Structure 1
Amino acid sequence: MRFESIERAAGIRFRIILNQLGLRDKKFFAIGFNKSGTTSLDALFQSMGLPSNHGTEWRTCNDMNLLRKYDCFSDGVPDDLPKLDQSFPGSKYILQVRSLQSWVYSRLGHIQREKETGRYKASDYWDDSQSAVKQWIEHRNQHHLFVMKYFADRKDDYLIVNFTRDMQAARKVCQFMERRGVDEMPKENVGSRRTPPPEHRDLFAKCVYELGLTDAELEFDIYCPSLVSDPDFLKFPEDTSLIS
């Protein structure tokens, strides 16, 4: 096992060198939100022996040196998906999703831990306020629908997957990428079943009420139909359980 780890690390370093020389250009982008299985995806990418960047810097889509260096990218939504697509033709995209309620609670829990450890950096968006949480929900809807519309005629180029409830998620990603990896369920931090504290439940309930969401939509992992103003978008599945 130790030899395999050393061999994999050496292979990753070699691939980084080839990338920097411009001899390899196919990329794999995880373009779903954080707290939706990004840590598991990063671990899966590395198990394939691929150079993987799990961070926020790549999301501006402007740092071409960084984007050329690695094969795989995760931990958030890119600022300019069409730019990535044009810059790296032939690349593949993974939209990792999670039920709305579970996702919001996970984000709120993350912020709480940041505050407890002194690592929290306040912003209007990354906050545990009603305004911020409503922004998250609306942003999630907009982004997921944009991705599905963008790739509507290129279904071989993207995959929608739910790491928190699909036992076959890792296998599906491996098949999509046409690579072998550690085909197992995600780490505990992805599928956490911790009961959210009362203040988080109250906050989420207020946001749900103000946005007019139905109970069923709280479990949908792609988007909430109640927030869709353009009926043309309603042709897309609101949950991965509806994808054949």
Structure 2
Amino acid sequence: MPDSTTHHVPSRGLRLGVCGPVGTGKSSLIALLCRELSAELSLGVVTNDIYTDEDARFLRSAGVLDPERIRAVETGACPHTAIRDDITANLLVVEELEETYSPDVVLIESGGDNLTATFSPALVDTQIFVLDIAGGGDVARKGGPGIERADLLIVNKTDLAPHVGVDREQMVLDATAARDGRIVIALSRTDRSSIDALTTWVRAQLAEHRAGDLVPADPGPMAPHSHSHDHDHDHSHDHGDHDHSAA
């Protein structure tokens, strides 16, 4: 009889999704991860925009990775669709990268969207949700599926807090409360300890994935929650994330 406790060990690398509202610094976060991890890990990147490959071109021009390892998906529709509802286009590109390079990690960036956009667990193994501290300290407190249930929440560009009138510590406390204690990282390119915390988290996720212990969760709006606004969909934000300010 086979041991029922035996884990299935994946034959492919970790698929890590990065999502969040437009302008929160998703592309810059991916560039940061590439700079920090490419010397030790084989990486691939897939970006999502509606009618452009601008995010992919930004990452290629940043020189953080071999340009052939950075691919673009032009969704032609609401960003929700390509990362959650019909993931076929993304899966095809991810699988092509995996077949060509056998990467340890494929980073998949969502198109810029609102607070309801999260990845399907059929596309990614784990996901990061990104908030910009300049978006306001109350954003984390109001919650939403990505804020509350993504595997990791990043409060990004925290060095800007004094300039935008946001209490960094309070925003992190509010985010942690909204997440029932799930991990939150306050990230700044000027704070080495926060960058180290992020790369440590990614390495831990990869180790769990390789051991067959990482179970993809679905933080999406159909999961049980108490925030009626999670279902709101403001299409005014449904466009590519073209704010490439550094994390």
TM-score by shorter chain over 0.5: no
Q: Comparing both structures, which one devotes a greater share of its residues to strand?
A: 2
TM-score, with normalisation over the residues of structure 1? 0.38
What TM-score, normalized by structure 2, do the two folds share?
0.37
Q: Which structure's CA Rg is the greater one?
A: 1
